[in-house]
Amino acid sequence: MSTADKSSAYRTRMLTTTAMLGALSGLLMLIEFPLGFIAPSFYKLDLSEIPVMIGTFAFGPIQGVVIEAVKIIIKLILKGTSTGFVGDLANFIIGCAMVIPAGIIYKRKKTKKSAVIGMIVSTLVMAVVGVFLNAYVMIPMYSAFMPIEQIVEAGKAIIPWVNSTFTFCLFCVLPFNLIKGIIVSVVVAIIYKPLSRLIHKGL
User: Where do the structural domains in the chain lie, given as residue ranges?
Assistant: 3-199
DSSP codes, 18-87:
HHHHHHHHHHHHT--EE-TTTS-TTSEE--THHHHHHHHHHH-HHHHHHHHHHHHHHHHHHH--SSTTHH
* Residue 50 and residue 187 in contact, taking contact as beta carbons nearer than 8 Å: yes
The confidence band for 1, taking pLDDT boundaries of 50, 70 and 90, is: low
CATH number for region 3-199: 1.10.1760.20
pLDDT at 161 over 70: yes
Contacts of 34 (CB under 8 A, 6+ apart): 40, 41, 42, 43, 44, 45
pLDDT at 61 over 80: yes
Number of CB atoms found within 10 A of residue 120's CB: 16
CA angle, 185 as apex, 180 and 187 as ends, to 5°? Answer: 100
Give the distance between the most distant pair of CA atoms in the chain: 65
Query: Per-residue pLDDT averaged across 111-119, rounded?
Result: 93
pLDDT tens digits, residue range 5-15? 567 777 888 88
* Residue 122 and residue 68 in contact, taking contact as beta carbons nearer than 8 Å: no
